[in-house]
């Protein structure tokens, strides 16, 4: 985690981004780009320098798993939790073609996804795991709906894998080969 430490010592992602974008030296811009690339690799994130960010972002739990599209715009004083995606929609036939614009003082919960050419107003809260594809007016809250629970009488959660010896699944830490020919036919049909 050496690049994580270096970037944090330089003031974090926003500071590194500012240093890169304000540098007159091509050499220093390359150094800042290299540091950012390695930092992103270590934190499994995508934080480019070509987006528009009005001020430092409060990454409450660090930048782990955060994806911010290069075309996005983020306002002042925003808080972003882990595993958030602020992504572009690049499907030419989509009405949401483009990147999100997020207003000032927004809070984006863990695992939230904000996708496409939408506008999130000022002072908005987006709940954990919410998927936002429509505009949000100022001072609004967007949360994930209540989960749908479907009861079944007999569920078997054997996750099949193909190995050198054939199809099987793990049970109590032991790989069990499938012997049922109907199940094997179905599994072999996906190879």
Phi (first) and psi of residue 68, to 5 degrees: -125, 115
Q: Whose CA is closest to 88, among 113, 112, 69, 111?
A: 69
> DSSP H helical segments within the chain, as ranges?
2-9, 13-22, 26-43, 181-188
The two beta strands, 85-87 and 52-53, are unpaired
The pLDDT value given to residue 32: 96
Mean pLDDT by 10 residues, the chain (191 residues): 91 94 96 96 94 93 94 96 94 84 97 96 96 96 86 84 90 92 87 67
Cα 38 to Cα 68: distance, rounded to the nearest angstrom? 16
Q: How far apart are CA 63 and CA 82, in angstroms?
A: 6
Q: What is the pLDDT of residue 191?
A: 67
Contact indicator for 67, 48 with CB cutoff of 8 Å: no
Domains recognised in the chain with CATH numbers: 1-43 (no CATH), 44-149 (2.160.10.10), 150-191 (no CATH)
Concatenating the DSSP letter of every residue in 92-118 gives TT-TT-B--EE-SS-EE-TT-EEESS-
CA distance 67 to 113: 9
- Of 137, 141, 139, 92, the closest CA to residue 112 belongs to 141
Supply the pTM of this predicted model: 0.78
Residue whose token pair is 């795991």: 129
Q: Using an 8 Å Cβ cutoff, are 128 and 112 in contact?
A: yes
């Amino acid at each position: 985690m050496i690049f994580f430490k270096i970037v944090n010592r330089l003031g974090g992602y926003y500071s590194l981004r500012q240093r890169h974008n304000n540098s007159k030296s091509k050499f220093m811009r390359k150094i800042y780009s290299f540091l950012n690339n390695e930092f992103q690799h270590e934190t499994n994130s995508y934080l480019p320098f070509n987006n528009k960010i009005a001020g430092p972002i409060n990454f409450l739990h660090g930048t782990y798993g955060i994806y911010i599209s290069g075309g996005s715009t983020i306002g002042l004083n925003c808080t972003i939790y882990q595993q958030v995606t602020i992504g572009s929609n690049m499907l030419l036939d989509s009405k949401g073609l483009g990147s999100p614009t997020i207003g000032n003082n927004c809070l984006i919960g863990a695992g939230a996804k904000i996708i496409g050419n939408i506008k999130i107003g000022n002072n908005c809260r987006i709940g954990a795991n919410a998927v936002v594809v429509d505009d949000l007016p100022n001072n609004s809250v967007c949360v994930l709906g209540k989960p749908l629970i479907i009861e079944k009488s007999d569920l078997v959660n054997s996750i099949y894998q193909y190995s050198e010896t054939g199809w099987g699944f793990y049970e109590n830490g032991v790989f069990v080969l499938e012997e049922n020919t109907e199940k094997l036919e179905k599994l072999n049909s996906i190879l």
